A and B are shown apart, each in its own frame.
Chain A
Amino acid sequence: MIRELVKGLAFTLKQMARKPITMQWPEEQRPAPTRHRGRHILHRYDNGMERCIGCELCSAACPVGCIYVEPAENDPAHPVSPGERYAVRYEINLMRCIYCGYCAEACPTEAITMGPRYELADYRRERLIATKEDLLEAWPNFAQAQRENPLGAGADQRGAAEHAPGVSPRLAWEEHDALIDREAQPPLHPGAGGIMPHPPTVAEPPHQVRR
């Protein structure tokens, strides 16, 4: 019996000599896995054009109806996207989103994918409506470049300066949040801010019910 007791004590003593494996979040951050389903990213083509063609398939595929797309005709002289239409407004209610990735699967042009950003808590509902400006990447393949840089893994919305190695994703996100706060807009569409303007009735089923 004594031998087993000593063995146990020796093991715990050895553990004490090892380096703790705790990660000091939020000062230290572990990069998100490659296929992490965090907040969405809207991508661009290599020539800078937006991939989104405003088809609303993501909105239709969304099981919780958290995506709002407002399409518009492209101006042939200055097209925003290669298709006929593009998205004037593209908003995702992050409080409703269940991060299932169906929108990314439904997208015919791979315009929307799930991103690495996961620190999404906030004090204000308005700030949790991600607008097109929030979601759209700053330049082509920006999000991809960020993924390869482990420290910048979450900074999906930064410009060239923030792409420098060593940038903390948290700093980038905080800056970004401050930006959204300044431009805080009143809820614009049904379901914005998590509040339904008209409670659904039986006769009138709620917006975008998945059949």
Chain B
Amino acid sequence: MIASAFDVKVGPDYWWVILIKAVILVLFLATAAAYGTYAERKVAARIQLRIGPNRVGPMGLLQPAADGIKLLFKENVAPGGRDRLLYLVGPALAAAAAILAYAAIPLNGVSTVNGYQLHWDIAHVNVGLLYILAVTSLGIYAIFLGGWAANSKYSLLGALRSSAQLVSYEMAVAFALMGAVILAGSLNLEDIVNAQHHAWFIVLQPIGALLYFTGALAETNRAPFDLPEAETELVGGYHTEYSGMRFGFYFVGEYINMVTVSSIAVTLFLGGWLPILPFLDFIPGVLWFLGKVFGLVFVMMWIRWTFPRLRYDRLMNLGWKVMLPLGLLNIVITGAVVAIRAATA
């Protein structure tokens, strides 16, 4: 069937084109998450003057495979009083929400294949950013359902903290992104990148970029905002009662989420697939995009191994009293400047 489809036409909207793109993306994200754990351990080790994993394979490069096999073969210990359905939905949703958001992110500009326009995102929707915000919010359900269904006090406390934290920062993140949307005049991520040809939005929107990145750290439960996990107080928080591959899905979800939020940050503020200087455009846009994304992922790891965890009240203060007003102010100023320029032009 696919062969006959090849004979007909190469077009962007055929179901098998989308399927291939989706499969490649899921494989890519799974690999990125696996090696994200490896990179995290190496970065942490080097910051602490250690060597990090170096026993499995050359330079320890097969460590993620060993970890994956270990997780698969581990016994899935589950608490007796759990909610059976929700207990399984939690980890599945954690990984799914992180992968789903990636559907609307373009990895490159439009390519022309056989005279047809091929978009480098899976779902070329005009409200791409809205879709991403909606889907990433689902990650809260993964954490909350997991914490609730396990029927354990640590899980529940972790989940409660987490939902409060994620809901607060959701607002700040959305506001931080709006500045870029106002400048681009579109919610489609491809259009937003194309609007950055003259200047990346991090130049025009430094506060927005900083707010988004800070909020993204909180949204992905990364240090210094990793209170839902808070292993010193909550024995692991929402995933206390998970083991084996069910825990693995939360873990993979966290690392895919890192890639996803970094990709959103790159798309909105760092010019997506655009090169730093115009004459460097002989390097494929995908490489530019991925380079920027993994650069940001590194920064997230770097931050994790530098700063201690925030106290809970300060986390809330930062979210509601600093980031939210700053985000609103940013929208007002950006909107005013855009309106004035439109009126005078």
Q: A residues within 8 Å of B by Cβ?
A: 5, 8-9, 11-13, 15-16, 18-22, 24
Contacts and interface: CB of A to CB of B under 8 A. Distances in A.
B45 A20 contact: yes
B48 interface: yes
A12 B51 contact: no
A16 B51 contact: no
A5 B305 CA distance: 12
Contact of A12 (B45, B50, B305): B305
Interface in B294-326: 302-303, 305-307
B71 to A, nearest CB: 26
Contacts of B303: 9
Secondary structure dominating the interface of A: helix
Nearest to A24: B51
B49 A15 contact: yes
Contact of B306 (A9, A20, A22): A9
14 contacts: A5-B307, A8-B306, A9-B306, A12-B305, A13-B302, A15-B46, A16-B43, A16-B46, A18-B49, A20-B49, A20-B50, A20-B51, A22-B50, A24-B51
B47 interface: yes
A12 B47 CA distance: 6
Interface of B: 43, 45-51, 302-303, 305-307
A8 B307 contact: yes
Contacts of A15: 46-49
A95 B197 CA distance: 73
Nearest to A8: B306
A20 B307 contact: no
Contacts of B305: 12
A22 B60 CA distance: 15
Given A8-B307, A16-B47, A20-B49, 13 more contacts: A9-B303, A9-B306, A12-B302, A12-B305, A12-B306, A13-B302, A15-B46, A15-B48, A16-B43, A16-B46, A20-B45, A22-B49, A24-B51
Nearest to A13: B302
Nearest to B52: A20
Contacts of B43: 16
A21 B49 CA distance: 6
